[in-house]
Amino acid sequence: MEYLIHIAVLVCLYGILGLSLNLVVGETGLISVAHAGFYGIGAYVTALLLVGLGMNFFLAMALGIIASGLVALLISGVISRLRGVYFLFGTIGLNIIAWSIFLNWQSVTRGPLGIPSIPRPGIWGLDLYQNLQFLFLAAASLAIVYFISVFIKKSSFGRVLNSIREDEEATQIFGYATSYYKLAIFTIGAMLAALAGALFATYITYIDPSSFTINESIFIFSTIVLGGLGSSRGAVLGPLLLVFLFEGFRFAGFPSEIAAQMRMLAYGFALVLLMLYRPKGIWGTFRI
């Protein structure tokens, strides 16, 4: 039972990441693989404030979200002017820079040693030490992010994002400053990713740079491709399927020395089949 609760928490966290990245990729058409960097900023800022200052979790989480948003705002002021593959390479560089800071700024982040003993959140004097209690917090956060995602999608702001995705030049002709819209949605996506990072840090109670590599960004990207780009439901379904696929291989009986490789093989095989036979994903409305 505890293991199933653990899986459910992971699905909620990756669901938040999927929804936040879908706003950038699925709704706006910006191919970004920097999400693990913003995820990490939220995790590290929250962890440092909780461990170093004993700050209230929700205040620490809010500051982590703001920090991630400010970084995204500064960086996207440059890369939001880029298009296509140039934007993609800009986000790759951003993720590598974030990971390098987590790894090498040892006086703050403790580098490869990571930050241990991160306390679990407390709500109205109740500490969420039990995983089932934490699951309620993670599920509530997922529901809030899902509502935000749907609200943006259905708003006039969301319709402009879709127009940028379909034809940015035509959108500019109609008088929209597309670079500002891209900057705004990139920042919003980063802030929502930081929310997942804050929850991850306090759930695992330990973080290190290995959780926020470019491979993690690719995995997050894969979840929304699987679920379906441009679909909020797909952004939750994709993480659900991939997390269960990965965890299911723990019980497949493979020898320990090849189990990880078999999981990656199945993961890659599933994505190749999906791209061949359903390139829009399971619930998608947009094709890269």
Supply the pLDDT for residue 47: 96
- Dist. CA 21–CA 140, nearest whole Å: 19
Contact criterion met (CB below 8 Å) for 171 and 163: yes
| 126 three-state secondary structure | strand
Residue with tokens 């979790």: 57
C-alpha separations of 263 from 220, 232, 254 in Å: 16, 26, 10
Which one-letter amino acid corresponds to residue 207?
A: I
Encode the chain (288 residues) as per-residue pLDDT tens digits: 788 899 999 999 999 999 999 999 989 988 899 999 999 999 999 999 999 898 989 999 999 999 999 999 998 878 877 777 888 898 999 999 999 999 999 999 999 999 999 998 877 656 667 888 899 999 999 999 999 999 999 999 999 999 999 888 899 898 888 889 999 999 999 999 999 999 999 999 999 999 999 989 999 998 998 888 888 999 999 989 888 877 766 666 666 666 667 777 777 777 787 777 777 778 877 666
Supply the pLDDT for residue 86: 86
Structure tokens at 171: 């959108």
Supply the pLDDT for residue 126: 63
Supply the pLDDT for residue 279: 73
Supply the pLDDT for residue 132: 84
Beta carbons within 8 Å of 234's beta carbon, 6+ residues apart = 22, 26, 224, 226, 227, 228, 281, 282, 283, 284
Q: Model pTM?
A: 0.92
Total residues belonging to the chain: 288
Supply the pLDDT for residue 249: 67
Contact criterion met (CB below 8 Å) for 198 and 49: no
Contact criterion met (CB below 8 Å) for 82 and 93: no
